[in-house]
Amino acid sequence: MSSDKLYDQVRTRVKSRKKFYSHILTWVIMSVFFILINLFTTDYFWAIFPILAWGIGVAFHGIQVFSDEWEDQEVEREYHRLKKRTMDFHGEEIDEDLIVNAEKRKDWRDQDFV
């Protein structure tokens, strides 16, 4: 991957995190505002409804931002794990048929060889 492409990808991730943190800050400020208005106007605690509704939106926003990063990390981890598994001690790739046969032999018992 070229460094320009990587830089653009990192910049996009940072911007999406920044928007998410801004969203959280706005939600907290507005939640305090709703509570204050509620305290000075009525005894019924109606502020919980907009706070919860907006909080659900913030939660979904966070899931969207951080699940993309988690997925990328898991793909990278799995790629390196499989790449390492297909290399021999000298760093050369091993034939895939040998790996498949080794997978089949995992569940063999000693009695199978007698």
- Give me the amino acid identity at 60: F
pLDDT in tens, 52-73: 999 999 999 999 998 877 888 8
Which two three-digit tokens encode residue 55? 């909080």
Q: What's the whole-number mean pLDDT along residues 31-48? A: 96
Which two three-digit tokens encode residue 1? 């991957």
Residue 63 pairs in a beta bridge with none
Mean predicted lDDT score pLDDT of the chain: 83
> Which of these, 72, 34, 64, lies nearest to 51 by C-alpha position?
34
Q: Quick one: DSSP state of residue 107? A: T
- Does the global pTM surpass 0.95? no
Residue 87 pairs in a beta bridge with 93
> Which of these, 10, 23, 20, lies nearest to 69 by C-alpha position?
10
